[in-house]
Amino acid sequence: MNLNLQGKNALIGGSSKGIGKAIAIELAKLGANVTIMARSAELLAEVVQELDQNHPGQQHDFLVVDFNDRAELHQRVVGLLTVKPIHILINNTGGPNGGPILDAQPEQFLQAFQNHLLCNHLLAQLVIPKMKAAGFGRIVNVVSTSVRVPLDNLGVSNTTRGAVASWAKTLANEVAKDGITVNNVLPGFTETERLVEVLAGSAQRKGIALEQELQQARETIPAGRFGTAEEIASVAAFLCTPAAAYVTGTSILVDGGRTRSI
């Protein structure tokens, strides 16, 4: 099985911590040259030092970018592309705040679409021309199991994630002939800061302790535990390899069996 990513350049969003960081680590282990993106230069610099550099010619760097500013994102990535092509794009952005959908203000939907769908689309438009020229491209969107089954008290997130999945499927069909795959990874409950934030909000609305809410969440998972960022990253990294060339336009659950749909 060909998992070798030597000579391939990867661009990873939201990669100063959590799932994005774990994906960066996995891709570097497979030989990719990794560029990580987030808002904190200090955290990004620390992550770069953790990335594997044991493959010949392997180099890593970072871009300080705020996804709330699409103009800045465009400028920074265009600058990167003058230096090297991007063969692997990981779209990964922190989700919007939780809460019932009827409580959501229109501005919350607009912000979520900006940070997820529009930024994903912008990045794809920028990197795909050079993917086509190389005859190789991998786009992986880190989304949510809510693509399959909407989650309670995540109204804005559910709406936005579904839109991203439809966008990805449409894009996958358009670029498959060029050797480019587009797939979604759907993490379930994963041990990250984001999970604690979401469940803390849910616990507050229910009037119960956070630990009680965490335990109730674990009990919904057939595997009996939360996933790790590394387990999500392993699936995402595989989708980026030559071995996954015939996998495109799909959404893969990584949730310990929690989602009840097939």
Q: Per residue in 46-61, pLDDT tens? A: 999 999 999 999 999 9
Note the pLDDT of residue 222.
97
Give the pLDDT of residue 18: 94
Is there a domain that residue 214 lies in?
no
**Is 200 part of any domain?**
no
CATH number for the domain including 167? 3.40.50.720
Helix (H) / strand (E) containing 47? helix 41-50
Total domain count, the chain: 1
203: which 2 tokens?
Answer: 């616990």
Note the pTM of the prediction, 2 decimals: 0.95
Give the residue from 204, 167, 159 showing the smallest Cα distance to 183: 167
Residue 202 confidence (pLDDT) = 83
Domain extent for 87: 9-191+227-254
pLDDT of residue 134: 98
Position 110 in a domain: yes
E strands within the chain?
Answer: 9-12, 33-38, 61-64, 88-91, 137-142, 180-187, 251-254
Compute the Cα dihedral for 158, 97, 183, 224 and give only its sign: negative
- The pLDDT assigned to 201 comes to 83
Sites in the chain below the pLDDT cut of 50: none
- Residue 237 falls inside a structural domain: yes
Tell me whether residue 85 is in a domain.
yes
Q: Indicate whether 107 belongs to any domain.
A: yes
The pair of three-digit structure tokens given for residue 229, joined into one six-digit string:
């960022």
What's residue 149's pLDDT? 95
Residue 198 lies in a domain: no
In a domain, 31, yes or no: yes
